[in-house]
Amino acid sequence: MKNFKHILVAAGVLSFAVALFQMTIGFFPSLSIYFGAPESLAENPWNLIIVSFSIAAILAVCGIYALSGAGSIRPLPWLRPILVMISGFYILRGLLLVPELLVVIGIIDSSIQVAPRFVVFSIVPLLIGLLYFLGTVGGWRTFPSKKSIEQA
């Protein structure tokens, strides 16, 4: 796949965008609750900020690894396995779409209420995960090996 670099750059940019979004909502407890944060977390603004920034940092590292896989920045250690893990985490989070959708449309009864907006919130990580997956598969053979990274 020749476009894997563009796909990984898109995945990285989206990871950075989600990281920025995560940092932003950390300052607004009501927004955090709207987007799924537990009320107990939102009650303590400092804990909310710490958790939001921690999640944002992880997402930013994901973005950095995507740019590394695309060749936009220097090769990072364990590039292949970490890109696979990032793909998996995003896709697994996105797959919450299935049970959420089944609850929202009434096929499954649940004691946990699922707002329709959570279906949309699951589509985003699923799409990002698919970008990571496609970019990782497409660039697998061109990613630098451990030996070439050590020589650099």
Indicate whether 150 belongs to any domain.
no
The answer, yes or no, to whether residue 150 has pLDDT greater than 80, is no
Q: What's the pTM? A: 0.89
Indicate whether 130 belongs to any domain.
yes
Domain membership of residue 44 as a residue range: 4-141
Indicate whether 148 belongs to any domain.
no
Indicate whether 110 belongs to any domain.
yes
> What is the total residue count of the chain?
152
Is residue 124 within 8 A of residue 7, CB to CB? The reply is no
What total number of domains does the chain contain? 1
Per the model's pLDDT, the better-predicted residue between 100 and 144 turns out to be 100
The SS3 assignment for 131 reads helix
Band of residue 136 on the pLDDT scale cut at 50, 70, 90? very high
Indicate whether 118 belongs to any domain.
yes
Q: What is the pLDDT of residue 152?
A: 55
Environment class of 18 (CB within 10 Å of its CB; exposed 0-12, middle 13-18, buried 19+): buried
Q: What are φ and ψ of residue 47, in 5° steps?
A: -65, -40
Indicate whether 146 belongs to any domain.
no
Indicate whether 9 belongs to any domain.
yes
Band of residue 99 on the pLDDT scale cut at 50, 70, 90? very high
